[in-house]
Amino acid sequence: MNILILGSGGREHSLAWAIKQNPKCDRLIVAPGNAGIAMLAECAAIDIMDGAEVVAFCEENAVDFVIVGPEAPLAAGVADATRAAGLLTFGPSAAAARLEASKAFTKEICDACAAPTAGYARFTDAQAARAYVQHHGAPLVIKADGLAAGKGVIMGMTLDEALEGINEIFGGAFGAAGAEVVIEEFMEGEEASLFILSDGVNTLPIGTAQDHKRVGDGDTGPNTGGMGAYSPAPILSDAVLEQAMAEIVRPTVAEMARRGTPFEGVLYAGLMIKDGHARLVEYNARFGDPECQVLMMRLGAQALDLLLACAKGELANAQVNWADDHALTVVMAANGYPGTPEKGSVITGLEALPEDSFNMVFHAGTATHDGQIIATGGRVLNITARGDSLKAAQARAYATVDAIDWPGGFCRRDIGWRAL
């Protein structure tokens, strides 16, 4: 079959890598792709935010299956457009993607299905929000309601920080995403992510992971899109996973179906776990980046069968063939990230690296220029490895990191520390 993946990050490179290994995949196209993706798939320069353009491209290229990677095209209704054109699609409708695009909507769903999550209040008025904070006191978490590229959450550990967060969001720091503010109870515990396929009715957990959000070693410095991840997440034991499925995920999927907006795609549940009990921090309506890279490293070619079963509404009969393995990915970012990253620096040493089912370098912000690989974004490479133990995967990944010559980039040296 001919498959189109929308996106250009390490997430999409890892999806392409896994899918390419499945004999069902004849032709693989990624739009817009990047320099690493171009080594294993065709790249197409189309506007992935434009549903009509994506549909026209699919019709011209006899595409059989469309996979939407990032949240922005989902929220813009690109999966609605491809489904309406009769194309088999992996990725939720815009209505279902509200589970990511609106934090207030997610809270409404949690209320409706009694899913455990942080207590909260919603505000469209700064004065009322400030009064609420004054009354409750810190710590509180202040969130812009809408999509803010992972930056719309402010930890109000002190009263001043909480009030400052309200000013920032209502002051327009996140544009329209900040028209409404959600103020949440601060939850203590350890965070982990659970990835679940949903065909609208049936659910199938396909892996757990832990991310490293802060830019610096020891979880210091500003937040990023994620500096590294590993799978599985030991904190998400079978018992916690089943509790999260029973109390959070299955009720959410049932509530979305009841409302006539079934969730069809991958649900990424960010969980806070304390004393063996998980509460929902947030949902995303797509794979995590870099969490997808470790999931794909572990799933390999079967990823395509799972995504197809999800898109066809056949998850009731699907199952994951697990190996007893671990995967870890280290993000290499351009100097300056998560502020303004330096662009254009040259990366060498990539050609000599092993690329097999134990070692892969997934590209994010890269391009080819005069025959060389250059950095074009903040997060640039995902050095990913698999092993019998997390320690083995970590050692493999850092051995590869050390073989890359890129003075313009950096990475954390402690990915995996929490589980090790």
Site size with ligand AMP, rule: CB under 6 A? 11
Which of ligand AMP, ligand GLY, none interacts with 186 (beta carbon under 5 to 8 A by kind)? Answer: ligand AMP
Three-class SS state of 274: strand
Nearer to ligand GLY, 203 or 284 (CB): 284
The token pair that represents 402 in the structure block: 């050390």
Site size with ligand GLY, rule: CB under 6 A? 8
Select from 10, 228, 288, 408 the one that contacts ligand GLY (CB under 6 A).
Answer: 288
Which of ligand GLY, ligand AMP, none interacts with 226 (beta carbon under 5 to 8 A by kind)? Answer: ligand GLY
**How far is residue 42 CA from its own chain's centroid?**
23
The token pair that represents 405 in the structure block: 């010559």
Is residue 150 a contact residue for ligand GLY (CB under 6 A)?
yes
- Side-chain-facing half-sphere of 330: CA atoms under 13 Å: 27
DSSP state of 327: E
Select from 72, 74, 115, 153 the one that contacts ligand AMP (CB under 6 A).
Answer: 153
Three-class SS state of 138: coil
User: Nearest-CA neighbor of 361 among 393, 385, 327?
Assistant: 385
* Pairwise CA distance, residues 112 & 332, whole Å: 41
Piece of the chain touching ligand AMP by CB under 6 A; list 184-192, 234-242, 245-253, 410-418: 184-192
Nearer to ligand GLY, 83 or 298 (CB): 298
Least Å distance, CB 212 to ligand GLY, is 9
Which of ligand GLY, ligand AMP, none interacts with 141 (beta carbon under 5 to 8 A by kind)? Answer: ligand AMP
User: Nearest-CA neighbor of 363 among 7, 3, 5?
Assistant: 7
Is residue 100 a contact residue for ligand GLY (CB under 6 A)?
no
The token pair that represents 39 in the structure block: 């080594």
Select from 144, 183, 280, 281 the one that contacts ligand AMP (CB under 6 A).
Answer: 281
Piece of the chain touching ligand AMP by CB under 6 A; list 22-30, 75-83, 182-190, 327-335: 182-190
Biggest distance spanned by C-alpha atoms of the chain: 61
Q: What residues are paired with 266 via a beta bridge?
A: 197
Do residues 118 and 185 touch, judged by C-beta distance below 8 A? yes
Least Å distance, CB 118 to ligand AMP, is 4
Which of ligand GLY, ligand AMP, none interacts with 289 (beta carbon under 5 to 8 A by kind)? Answer: ligand GLY
Piece of the chain touching ligand GLY by CB under 6 A; list 53-61, 133-141, 285-293, 399-407: 285-293
Least Å distance, CB 384 to ligand GLY, is 14
Least Å distance, CB 131 to ligand AMP, is 20
Strand 277-284 to 214-216 pairing: unpaired
Piece of the chain touching ligand GLY by CB under 6 A; list 13-21, 284-292, 306-314, 361-369: 284-292
Which of ligand GLY, ligand AMP, none interacts with 404 (beta carbon under 5 to 8 A by kind)? Answer: none
Is residue 186 a contact residue for ligand AMP (CB under 6 A)?
yes
The token pair that represents 347 in the structure block: 């990366």
Select from 184, 289, 305, 325 the one that contacts ligand GLY (CB under 6 A).
Answer: 289
User: Nearest-CA neighbor of 227 among 246, 251, 210?
Assistant: 210
User: Nearest-CA neighbor of 396 among 346, 360, 347, 420?
Assistant: 360
Query: Scanning residues 12 to 31, which ones bind ligand GLY (CB under 6 A)?
Result: none
User: Nearest-CA neighbor of 69 among 41, 89, 95?
Assistant: 89
Is residue 161 a contact residue for ligand AMP (CB under 6 A)?
no
* Pairwise CA distance, residues 347 & 406, whole Å: 5
Strand 346-347 to 372-375 pairing: antiparallel
Nearer to ligand AMP, 116 or 270 (CB): 270
Q: Which residues bind ligand GLY (CB under 6 A)?
A: 150, 211, 225-226, 284, 288-289, 291
